[in-house]
Amino acid sequence: MLPEDALYRIALKHIPLVGAVIARNLISYCGSPEQVFKAPRSKLLKIPGVGGKIAANIQSKDVLQAAESELERLVKKNISMMFFLDESYPSRLKGLPHSPILLYTSGDYDPNTGKTIAIVGTRSPTHYGRTACARIVEQLKPHQPLIISGLAYGIDICAHRAALHNNLKTLAVMGNGFGHIYPAHHRKTAAAMLENGGLMTEFSYNTMPDRENFPARNRIVAGLADIVVVIESGESGGSMITAEFANGYNREVAAVPGRFIDDRSSGCNKLIRQHKAHLIESGEDIVNLMCWEKGEKAQIQARLFLDLSDPERLILEMLTSSVEHGLDELARKSNFPASQLATVLLSLELKGVVRAVPGKRYIRIS
């Protein structure tokens, strides 16, 4: 069911010259999407990033008319939306630079699930690449991660189909609107994914799969994932762009190595050689890397929680699994002096329940 202010949320995306940063400024200063379009020109001109052209675009009737047409399509096709202020909006995207203010989505999945993995690679994989992809997904089945990819030919569709075969939820992030499922050859798989996963895009319904859309799509794939796995990739292309985004977002990156004489593995080998990706050969390698082990270790951690000191328990309760928390944020919420907070976090790391990531940020190990 779409929210009452759906029209204005959509309209915000249709304003020419307005990207994610300015859109957030508009909401912050005006209070809501609806108020953006009711604000007088004088108020709009005081908002950072808004000049005369953007103010005129906001007050143009064309924007709301385009949004009305878009809303009619969404209702007719039963497509939902996730606004950046909604609880349903992917928590892993919040705080990332230039993350979309609005996502269109359909299917049965939770983007805020406990474990997510993106699998990307070449559009023309070898038997080795397809086998590696299928085997890794099968080996991850006990941990029930959400498998994310881009619905493209090659490794993308292999990952989606392997997930469906193993009854794992799988999400495709598209570089086009819902009106143009691309490639058309994968429509049957896309339809099956709606029953056990889904489709997501930031693009309006009639947006074609234009080339410039796919790097933007790749940043969402990287942002949604706890770990990005690259299987067969040259030294350039979408998979390498996704890996670069993931490294920039402090996500884990892993790559399946290949023969040095095979151009389709040169990108994977380069990522590993430059220490931009972990070398993996199985799903178990991913489980160990991400500390996804179940059973005995989970029981040990549960018992360990009971043995924590009050300060340790307080900090641990502030940390959310798979979401990074900055040192300043933890200091503000806990009111602990910097020296005490550092001691508590170090103790939690040594006990194996917290992991430090670049940028003085911490994440709880589920």
Does 97 reside within a domain?
Answer: no
Calculate the average pLDDT of the chain: 92
Q: What is the mean pLDDT of residues 335-360?
A: 85
Which of 256, 290, 324 terminates a domain? The answer is 290
Residue 309 lies in a domain: yes
Same domain? For 358 and 239 the reply is no
User: Residue 321 sits in a domain of what CATH number?
Assistant: 1.10.10.10
Within a 10 A sphere around the Cβ of 212, how many other Cβ atoms?
7
Give SS3 for 144.
coil
pLDDT of residue 305: 55
- The whole-number pLDDT of residue 301 equals 54
Task: Report whether 230 contacts 198 (CB < 8 A).
Answer: no
Rounded-to-integer distance, Cα 249 and Cα 263, Å: 27
Q: pLDDT per residue over 49-90, tens digit each? A: 999 999 999 999 999 999 999 999 999 999 999 999 999 999
Count of domains forming the chain: 3
Choose one of 241, 260, 290: the last residue of a domain.
290
Q: Is residue 91 part of a domain?
A: no
The Cα 333–Cα 335 span in angstroms is 6
Task: Find the CATH number of the domain harbouring 36.
Answer: 1.10.150.20
Q: Is residue 58 part of a domain?
A: yes
pLDDT digits (tens, 9 = 90+) for 117-153: 999 999 999 999 999 999 999 999 999 999 999 999 9
**Whole-number pLDDT of residue 319:** 86
pLDDT surpasses 70 at 202? yes
Say yes or no: 137 and 190 in one domain.
Answer: yes
Same domain, 138 and 226: yes
> In this structure, is residue 86 part of a structural domain?
no
Claim: this prediction has a pTM higher than 0.75 = yes
pLDDT band at 299 (very low <50, low <70, confident <90, very high): very low
- 30-39 average pLDDT score: 95
Residues 134 and 236 reside in one and the same domain? yes
Is the confidence at residue 286, as pLDDT, over 70? yes
Is the same domain home to 225 and 242? Answer: yes
The conformation of residue 308, written as its DSSP 8-state character, comes to: -
The domain containing residue 344 runs over which residues? 296-364
Contact 73, 16 (CB under 8 A): no
Which percentage of the chain shows pLDDT scores above 90?
A: 75
Which residue, 223, 297, 262, is CA-closest to 132? 262
**Could you tell me if 235 and 269 lie in one domain?**
yes
- Same domain, yes or no: 306 and 264: no
